[in-house]
Structure 1
Amino acid sequence: MGRVFSSTRTGIRALGLGLLALGAAGIGRAEAQAALPAPTIAAVPVGAAKPIAAWVVFCQSYAAECALDRAEPARIVLTPAIWTRIVAVNRRVNASVTAITDMDHLGVPDRWDLAEDGAGDCEDFQLLKRSLLAQAGLPRRAMRMTVVIDEKGEGHAVLTLITDHGDLVLDNKTSQILPWHRTGYTFIKRESQDAVAWVSLGGVTSPATTANR
């Protein structure tokens, strides 16, 4: 963990600067016309949960990405401008990062990072999205890494945005941003909003990893 290469960091910074500098000329027509989502329900944590082991290692190398400031808002207030930024970051990270499993990429079952070499699996996509959105001013506390069981019955990681329109999910399998209960996934657990820890979302089976094809 913690592999840092200047060339790949430069590439990520360039991607981030491009996303953060979105203006009328840089936003696609669909992104510019993105309508706010309809209000939906929020997921309700039901107690403490054990974090994914690879997340613990990630936090040792990327402490700032896991830090939690309880003074930050617990919800994102969606405005047309903020929603357009979220839609753009989600689509462009999905298009810019090459999807590959950690085993094929790094020879390990599960490793979390920021896709610094331009490739990664599910959690790397979501961590990069969160990092870029936090740079854009969105409260990290309202963007929680989340573990689910996907349509293949495998562990998978998504990013939950806790908003005033309900809990919305950013995913690397689709650029459509859906309410959590419309994804078809079984929600297991996510990062706490009150501590550097995890909370249960009621799912019965917790995967050991988020490795995914």
Structure 2
Amino acid sequence: MPVVGGSLMNRFIAKSIVMLLIAVPGVAEAGTTMRTAGKAFPPPAFLPFCARESSLCRTGGNTVVALDPAKASELKQVNSAVNNRIRERSDRANVGKDDDWRVPANYGDCEDFAILKKRELMKRGWPSSALLLTVARYRGDGHTVLTVRTSEGDLVLDNLTNAVRDWSRTPYAYFARQSQSNGRRWELIQGVAALQRAPRATAGWRP
């Protein structure tokens, strides 16, 4: 995955970790539903994205989608279709910036995949408040996925696999995600992995 070496993103990760450690005095056991722990700093490129794509930043309520077989199949279809349609390319190579969030047409990096999946699911009638952009860490680098809140737990749509997985069964250390109540805000995510890997948070960022 392409490296994005912006100081803004490094500061975002560092501030998020400090807030997480303050907000969570003990380690919460990871389960099938993410637990949030208060306000987080949004990724630096997120607010400019929201200014362009306001419909993708609107949420409200605490919607949990009832996951029947048809809905489960739809998640798999959208995840696979976007992964097969979009070719991975760094923001620098794609648009000439180190960090840029957008709805991709042909090329993009991980957050662009997640954004397109959110839009495609919203087109199919999925509520935006159940579709939350989420940032994590993987092998020392940043990563963005789409978290879908369902009756069967919080599921992750990921550009690195066509499988739709429970968030607690992925190899990521999760930091923050869009708030369900206000899609322009972000919330910290509790979890054993996030706390255990926190000291590595300022090493660098890959979207």
TM-score, with structure 2 as normaliser:
0.77
What is the CA deviation profile of residues 9-68 of structure 1, one whole-angstrom value per residue up to 9, with x for unaligned ones?
xxxxxxxxxxxxxxxxxxxxxxxxxxxxxxx62010011100001111100111111112
Match of 2:189 among 182, 201, 208: 201
* Percent of aligned pairs with the same amino acid: 33
Q: Does 1:58 align with 2:45?
A: no
CA contact (8 A) 2:110 2:143 kept: yes
Match of 1:83 among 61, 72, 79: 72
CA contact (8 A) 1:147 1:210 kept: no
What is the CA deviation profile of residues 148-169 of structure 1, one whole-angstrom value per residue up to 9, with x for unaligned ones?
001x211110000111000110
Match of 1:114 among 78, 103, 109: 103
Partner SS, residue 53 of structure 1: coil
Q: Which residue of structure 2 lines up, in the alignment, with residue 211 of structure 1?
A: 206
CA contact (8 A) 2:113 2:159 kept: yes
CA contact (8 A) 1:110 1:211 kept: no
Query: Separation in 2 of the partners of 1:43 and 1:181?
Result: 8
Query: Separation in 1 of the partners of 2:157 and 2:33?
Result: 15
How many residue pairs were aligned?
169
Q: Which residue of structure 2 lines up, in the alignment, with residue 134 of structure 1?
A: 122
Query: Separation in 1 of the partners of 2:150 and 2:162?
Result: 18
Query: Separation in 2 of the partners of 1:67 and 1:147?
Result: 18
What is the CA deviation profile of residues 126-149 of structure 1, one whole-angstrom value per residue up to 9, with x for unaligned ones?
110110101101111011000000
Query: Separation in 1 of the partners of 2:60 and 2:203?
Result: 27
CA contact (8 A) 1:122 1:210 kept: no
**Unmatched tracts of structure 2, length 5 or more:** 1-30
Q: Tell me which of the two structures has the higher relative contact order, counting C-alpha pairs closer than 8 angstroms and 6 or more residues apart.
A: 2
CA contact (8 A) 1:109 1:211 kept: no
Q: Which residue of structure 2 lines up, in the alignment, with residue 23 of structure 1?
A: none
Query: Separation in 2 of the partners of 1:136 and 1:209?
Result: 36
CA-CA distance at 1:209 after TM superposition? 8.4
**Unmatched tracts of structure 1, length 5 or more:** 1-39
Q: Which residue of structure 2 lines up, in the alignment, with residue 123 of structure 1?
A: 111
Query: Separation in 1 of the partners of 2:134 and 2:75?
Result: 17
Q: Does 1:179 align with 2:166?
A: yes
Query: Separation in 2 of the partners of 1:188 and 1:128?
Result: 21
Mapping 1:25-64, distance limit 5 Å: 41-64=32-55
